[in-house]
Structure 1
């Protein structure tokens, strides 16, 4: 049984003591958390202890602070408090009693206190508080159920965004339902253990996945509980591969990085302790715009490839890449001087002539072809590609994008023809080389101007973040940050505003159907377009046109 926490206030000691004795005689329902001689003492007590209570029994007329003022002061201290009040009053205090009842006091007791009346009032109060508790319990259950449904819906949206290959910005309107602040994404993947894989049945793998899910649930919940105004989501990406998204309402970049690092360490320890495998994870930098998630998938998938060089059971982040040191303890890398070749080639990108890069790669492949086995050849080429990716991230301030690293590495694994492999590697290096050359040209147009020009010219088409960033040769995540810093708008908001501005012009200047206008500005769903139009301009498209014609 939850006792009723009670505070007694009266400037007469005899009455205070008498009410205390009567409460104790009424049974174990009452827990007296404080007895005070005036309202000021109560306020100081509540401010110092932040205690919740159920019932206030107070004299209505006291020299330092009257009961009505006390009730209002307590409400000001904690606006969420839901306490009941009994007023103790003399006959000449009746006007104050009436005011107190208007403020929500349940009942009043006249002085001198009659025991029978006091117990009757207590029974009424107990019934009222029980009803309040029951209502609050049901309300909290409803809130909890609502929160769970919201969490499930949000997790599904995030999962779909990450799994999408090319997410049209126009379809990502759901990001507006997520809070404004900083986010960090994590991709967690089991390290490969081919020798152990055959030892486990499908049921075993299912049990391992269930264990990881429980660990994620606990570690994410611990993060949410330890940080003010923080949230977290996680979902499975097939097999023993998982995603986590953390949120912080406070836009303190460095503090959030520390929190993300702490989360990664905690998760790594738990996974190592409670599963028979090691896991590597890739951790993003903090970002504000959720529509970068489809691109974040490619970046983190590429980042986790670093375990091919530095080993598994580690946390990889873009910030830590420059701190990683090549140990050259891999015999293939050391014996064949792959690091030297990789370093030389990446230095040439954006600086040398294309024929020189082509020649250098040909000479490198002449050495690779002399390796003793297909495994050695594969490892050597993988090292070359990943090293280029690493240097590209470290040394390129605007974050030039290395597109489709996963696809390149997958092709290396599956392609057995050496001539085709050589051609693939050459094409990869030359593409990056050309990107860096192009980026340094055409100084008349800034990256923002180029992006705006491209968006305007492609407004009726499906627009993805990758399309824009590829056009201006910038890393998608960096581009989003740069765009917002320069324009004051997110890429999503800029494109939405431009589409709706253009739609208004088409609506007023041309005789077109709403469905045609929607498609001309990039929206395939006319209902969604109409809803956005009304949010922007205050009326549905058809109503807006009628109003305009009526005026002019």
Structure 2
């Protein structure tokens, strides 16, 4: 969010200095106006929204205490910072009863003023978090309920909660939207889906957007209006953001108890979107004899596995495999279902290697999967398959191992100083060797990769309203807020403040949309 400031001082030089010669953008602030006395300030506050008022205490017509008193009585959400001289300090303390945020002695210290602003911002954020808007609460409750229904068995209590929230799941289709390549930045995609869509609601499910299309009555084939809407979304994303969007659409459903199955179908349809025109795949078009007994969670696990392989995150891919096999073992999953999921992993590895212009893994792995006599031999085969994929992904096994270690170190030390020298020291190799190997495997320099990772992480933090922009800078390793702002704008085209405003605006629920 951007905080609007009003600067009040009867000295023109002081007003100009505070208003114009502090990097307010780095603090998520904007000077909304200035005033030469307390009465001008009060009139400004009546006419224009303000978050923080910085005011001198001694001024003609009406002083700073009069401003603080007016704010306390009429707009107590505004924070007041009083500027006062030593002689007036005892007098200024009487303003404590007006909930003044901070007292700063003149001559004003820039560092002290900025710290007071940051403290006032935190007070405002905390206060606003405690006062939620009804529409936002309703949208949040809807998202949470649908998310809960996606990942668990249907409970009788869901029916009452659906009714209370005005959600009717008697005739509907579910569509899963995926950015290609898979990305965590889904706010832009969600804003497109919500824009003017009165018969749909959507929510984020990990790094996918799940949309529910409500129908007036029974409809066994996907309505043209739904297909056209999905096509519009893919075109808009490609036109405005140069990114591809894939869509998977479930079969028609007429019961709330089928919701998790519908989501699973939509996600699974994404796995064969490649064979469909305009990146829209229908689950109903799948071969009838195919075994698709997968939960939404299993489908999502496979997506994560493939995405990690594409992005050289082999350790993360291994973590997904451990998670999948732990679920197999703890739930005594049917052997045919377990083998079916593992066979899909084989084809994922095929796609990953072929895309890198390498040969697919030997068919022997698929034979061993289908003929595995127990869960332990199945697990051993799949991990061997991933090791084979990793070794043949690009270059030599040694290069891959070096790259893997470098990427792991970058992701786990993102807030710390990172450079070619730091990484080469950590990996105990020469800086030139690391630079050449990283560029060969990744296709971009180490510095560019670090900046990309930091900016992508910063985007995630900026979607959270409880973290201010200058705090985001520290969290991703840029310890100068002004430099962070410039490097962020270089990679995204907008400042951190503008990005947050756009993301929050795109996520603001529209009541007409049914969210």
The TM-score, its normalising length taken from structure 2, stands at: 0.32
Higher relative contact order (CA 8 A, sep 6+): 2
Say which one has the larger Rg.
Answer: 1
The TM-score, its normalising length taken from structure 1, stands at: 0.30
